[in-house]
Amino acid sequence: MLPGAIQSVLAQTLPDVEVVVVDDGSEDDTPKVCTMLANGDPRVVVLRITHSGRSAARNYGLARARGAWLSFLDDDDLLVPSFVEKMLRLASASATPCACEAWLFDDASAGSVAPLDLLAAPERHGLRPVHKSALGGTATMADLIAASILPLNTVLAPTDLVRALGGFRKGLEHCEDYDLWLRLMAHTGPWPLLHERLAFIRCHPSQTTHEIGKMARAAAEIIAATLQAHPELIAAVGRSRLRRRIAFLHREAAYAALLAGDGVSARRSALASLRSWGLDPKAWAYLLLSPRSDLYYKVRSRLRRGS
């Protein structure tokens, strides 16, 4: 998938870009692929480090980036050719970070695919918006607390500002972008949103379901820490809305635990969800299923194979 991600940057309508690729201690043929890509275009810079984790790898690239503005891109995601040009225009006008909307797409092969091919055949690739409802003109901290509305590859930010705030939080391996966006927004205030889908997020089989629980727990911890530092956000979000958000995250953790056959953790997370919002039928279902998490896993697997 890596060549496709890099090519989606090199194909930007604004060609004055630098692609900093950080190989976080891979043990496959990634170094060979990176060397091939770097030899083909001087705008590609490849850095290889011993395995250090997501936040450390991103910060390593951040420290060596030479551009005044930056965006982050995982190796399985893509950008629309006009992403840099349109986002830079908006960011320069506001002198703050900005964000755009995004597409989700399905790729069972987990191979190389071009953004224009996705746009040309949206039904074949299951192309669909990330956001089911329209976003506002700006994104505020209250908006981010209420929902994770800004995927990693939808944000453009001033490089110096990201560095000044320390980049991604060390040791944080899930929702590290969510944490950084909140810290950046606490410094800059609301961000303008471009209502165009200029980024693609790939859904593929190698994305394991156990990540759902880890991400949900990390998001809940980040929200708790942010509210402790900025208690005024509780009123801005609204207590009812906040309770539902926390309940949803605990419910996601319960779901992931059920999939893993961990009934104890499923029960604990389902109860935490219901304590925040007791009217969620899914949380009640997960609580009732927790004593038979092994059965839930078997039945769900069989249903998925049948479909």
pLDDT digits (tens, 9 = 90+) for 280-295: 999 999 999 999 887 7
Q: Which structure tokens are listed for 76?
A: 């399985």
Confidence (pTM): 0.92
pLDDT beyond 70 at 172: yes
Tell me the Ramachandran region of residue 189: left when phi exceeds 0, alpha when psi lies from -120 to 50, beta otherwise.
left
**Residue pair 270/286 in contact by the 8 Å Cβ criterion:** yes
Helix (H, G, I), strand (E, B) or coil at 70: strand
**Residue pair 118/127 in contact by the 8 Å Cβ criterion:** yes
Q: How far apart are CA 212 and CA 268, in angstroms?
A: 16
Q: For the chain, what is the mean pLDDT?
A: 91
Mind giving me the DSSP string for 77-91? -EE-TTHHHHHHHHH
**Domains in the chain, ordered, with CATH?**
2-11+68-203 (3.90.550.10), 210-306 (no CATH)
Kindly report, residue by residue over 9-43, the tens digit of the pLDDT: 999 999 999 999 999 989 888 888 888 888 878 99
Kindly report, residue by residue over 228-240, the tens digit of the pLDDT: 999 999 999 999 9
Residue type, 201: I
Signed CA dihedral, 272, 172, 230, 97: sign only? negative
Mean pLDDT over 297-305 rounds to 65
**Residue pair 145/242 in contact by the 8 Å Cβ criterion:** yes
pLDDT beyond 90 at 107: no
